[in-house]
Amino acid sequence: MEERMEATPDISVTEWRVNYSETDQMGVVYHACYLVWLDRARTEHLRRTGVSYAELERRGIRLLVGELTIRYRQSARYDDRITIRCWVRERASRRIGFGYVVEHADTGRILATASTSLMVIDANSRWARLPAEVAELLPISADPVRL
């Protein structure tokens, strides 16, 4: 069993069970489902820090995934409880980088690690700057594990 990461105010934890529809013929989670999970964890992380996608869009700000890296370590299976830890690992005026760890909730085994880089654009798809008051709500955390 691997050592579990502790939650901190800057690292959000989202938990759910693997649905049957997320598995492939081999009984494991289809690899592309992890991308949806990362999006879900990132959305919850932003909401918990006081920034929601809906509010950003009302303000004319969009976050566009520009880069994604994922490392699969072990398989998740139907009905497994999983947790995803998400944090801001870097922030610039036009970019926010997020880190993720997908874990088996019952054993603490790391199933995958990932990072995404989101670009800030306006409603007309032009580069924009992240408003300072939004950036202040997104503190940067050191990676708690090697991504």
Record: fold of 12-135: Thiol Ester Dehydrase; Chain A (3.10.129)
Asked whether residue 17 carries a pLDDT value surpassing 70, the answer given is yes
| pLDDT for residue 18 is more than 60 | yes
Rounded Cα distance, 78 and 28, in Å: 7
Please list the helix, strand and coil fractions of the chain in percent, rounded to the nearest 5, in that order. Answer: 20, 40, 40
Closest CA to 110 of 138, 141, 75, 143: 75
How much is the pLDDT for 2? Answer: 44
Give the pLDDT confidence of 32-82 residue by residue, as tens digits: 999 999 999 999 999 999 999 999 999 999 999 999 999 999 999 999 999
User: Any catalytic annotation for residue 24?
Assistant: yes
Catalytic residue among 24, 39, 106, 143: 24
The string of pLDDT tens digits covering residues 82-138 is: 999 999 999 999 999 999 999 999 999 999 999 999 999 999 999 999 999 999 999
Q: How far is CA 1 from CA 29, 105, 130, in A?
A: 21, 12, 40
Note the pLDDT of residue 121: 98
Rounded (5°) CA angle 90-1-32: 50
Q: Is the pLDDT of residue 1 over 60?
A: no
pTM of the model: 0.92
